[in-house]
Amino acid sequence: MSKEVKDTAEQAAPKRSNQPKTPTLVRGMKDILPSEQGYWRLVEETVRQVAMEYRYEQIETPVLEPAALFNRTIGKETDVLEKEMYTFTDRSNESLALRPEGTAGVARAYLEHGMLNQPQPVKVFYIESFFRHDRPQAGRYRQFFQFGFEAIGDAHPVVDAQIISMTYEVFRRLQVPVNVHMNSLGDKESRAAYEKALLDYYKSHKSELCEDCLRRMQKNPLRLLDCKQTGCRTLAETAPQTVDHLNTESREHFVSVLEYLDELEIPYTLDPRIVRGLDYYSKTAFEFLPVLSEGDDRVIELGGGGRYDGLIEQIGGRATPAVGAACGIERLINRLHEQGVQAQALPDADVFLAQLGDPARKLSIKLFGELSAQGVRVAESLSKDGIKPQLEAANRVNAKYTLILGQKEMMDGTILIRDMENGIQEVVDMQKIVNEVVKRLQRGKSQQLQAADPEVVAKMEEESGVSEAQQKLDL
Ligand code: AMP
């Protein structure tokens, strides 16, 4: 047995036959471990940054909503509603659902808080988790996270284009190349005309349809295009296309969205198969698919969205146009991994605090707070004794300096500062150590910048009030 395996085996509690089984993850759920957090931070910070630049404010809605909210909005014959929603009756006999998606909750909040009285469109974003009792597989979980943008209260096609553009910008900044697949479902009138054409087509191919699709024909013909069965997929390829059944207004709207995308130089493909999984979409519908290497024919849907002009009315508000997009964060992070992107976990430390003996430990825990209050990134292993393991820990976090507080320094009221790059150690008055550290770090930063661009540094120094002459005197 290797040492590592032996240690682990010894650490594990001995199992008795009557001992309860250790609980494990619920199927379809996952832990997001510390080693993955760098990727999550990267995605979330990018989303927040883009949202802020486009002036979209965050909204957070509850995980639990009345089941009726989704029954009324998502639509009949959709997998999300029929098979995937987690619903239950609570102790007050209310029928509740774990939210399967974000738009309905945002629309409920818009109505409930009278946001229609604010300047329109109301622009919000979210980063939240959703729940679908889906069959777990790669890139498909029962609890998953999405980021999403919603603009409620504006019918102009430029808003559709802006939602697409800001979502595209998130992918661009993360260096995940995507192609936007575009379609239009048209407004109510166009959609009715299209559904009729679709039904006529499928009626003459009834014998080739699977059982699910025969039922879909009655309830929601658009879903026929989504079927994954080989026979139905072949049929879908020659089915009528929505864009051929758009009325003038829907057509003009769609053309206009595409023109804005051209203006923004966002690459898109017209894709008549995009009908989106949920029922509330009208007019513009789009999906974001990653650009994969040649020969890789996977279809990975990173995100999608569209216009949902009828949704607010469906839940009891007055007719309110709206458009939004939502993207799966797990799938995006998978893509970052596939592309070999390295996301940093915790940043390197500026300073490591090493101490010897209990009085020094007490002073160190206080000094830790004083340094971090000045914005210094401090690392420590306060529970450890002995200088060697502490210096090793300092190297692991790539500390620039280690502060060493031993018995002698405690008596003298001093502290040692060790430059980890050249090993030079200096004695500093304990009272002055915070200022000294801050000063050295600032100096290090401007030297780094100077190597890059002297003009920028001169400007920064001017702004911070620290002149080159002052720095020289300090040395
Ligand atoms: P939808 O709300 O179905 O339009 O999904 C939008 C995006 O969320 C998809 O493109 C996926 O990236 C992601 N997504 C949807 N369902 C799941 C799931 N079960 N597990 C992980 N990601 C999901």
190-237 confidence digits (pLDDT tens): 988 998 999 999 999 988 888 888 888 887 788 888 787 888 888 888
Q: What integer is the mean pLDDT of 134-159?
A: 95
Q: Which atom of ligand 1 approaches the CA of 146 most closely?
A: 8
Q: How far is the CA of 331 from the centre of ligand 1 (A)?
A: 8
Of ligand 1's atoms, which has the minimum distance to the CA of residue 100? 2
Beta carbon of 157 within 6 Å of any ligand 1 atom: no
Measured from the CB, is residue 140 less than 6 Å from ligand 1? yes
- The average pLDDT across 272-278 equals 78
Q: How far is the CA of 328 from the centre of ligand 1 (A)?
A: 5
Residue 446 has a pLDDT of 81
CB 420 within 8 A of CB 407: no
User: Residue 454's pLDDT is what?
Assistant: 59
- What's the CA-to-centroid distance between 10 and ligand 1, angstroms? 42
The pLDDT of residue 354: 97
Cα gap 167→332, rounded to integer Å: 12
pLDDT of residue 364: 97
- CA of 264 relative to ligand 1 center, distance in Å: 26
**Given pLDDT bands bounded at 50, 70 and 90, which one contains residue 316?**
very high
Residue 145 C-alpha to ligand 1 middle, in angstroms?
Answer: 8
Span of 93-97, 138-142, 428-432 with lowest mean pLDDT? 138-142
Residue 327 Cα to ligand 1 middle (Å): 7
| pTM for the model | 0.86
Q: With helix as H, strand as E and coil as C, how does the chain read?
A: CCHHHHHHHHHCCCCCCCCCCCCCCCCCCCCCCHHHHHHHHHHHHHHHHHHHHCCCEECCCCCEEEHHHHHHHCCCCCHHHHHHCCEEECCCCCEEEECCCCHHHHHHHHHHCCHHHCCCCEEEEEEEEEECCCCCECCECCEEEEEEEEEECCCCHHHHHHHHHHHHHHHHHCCCCEEEEEEECCCHHHHHHHHHHHHHHHHCCHHHCCHHHHHHHHHCHHHHHHCCCHHHHHHHHCCCCHHHHCCHHHHHHHHHHHHHHHHCCCCEEECCCCCCCCCCCEEEEEEEEECCCCCCCCCCCCEEEEECCCHHHHCCCCCCCEEEEEEEHHHHHHHHHHCCCCCCCCCCCCEEEEECCHHHHHHHHHHHHHHHHCCCCEEECCCCCCHHHHHHHHHHCCCCEEEEECHHHHHHCEEEEEECCCCCEEEEEHHHHHHHHHHHHHHHHHHHHHHHCHHHHHHHHHHHCCCHHHHHHHC
- Binned at pLDDT 50, 70 and 90, residue 459 comes out as low
Least confident of 9-13, 95-99, 184-188: 9-13
Residue 464: predicted pLDDT? 46
Return the pLDDT at 247: 95
Rounded to an integer, what distance in angstroms lies between the CA atom of residue 261 and that of residue 89?
45
For residue 287, pLDDT beyond 50: yes
pLDDT computed for residue 7 by the predictor: 41
Tens-place pLDDT, residues 230-257: 888 888 889 999 999 999 999 999 999 9
Position 277 confidence tier, pLDDT thresholds 50, 70, 90: low
* pLDDT tens digits, one per residue of 319-368: 999 999 999 999 999 999 999 999 988 899 999 999 999 999 999 999 99
Q: Probe ligand 1: pick from 73, 81, 185, 331, max atoms within 8 Å of CB? A: 331
The proportion of the chain whose per-residue pLDDT surpasses 90, expressed as a percent, equals 72
Confidence band, pLDDT 50/70/90 cuts, at residue 83: confident
Tell whether the model's pLDDT for residue 91 goes beyond 80: yes
Q: Is the CB of 288 under 6 A from ligand 1?
A: no
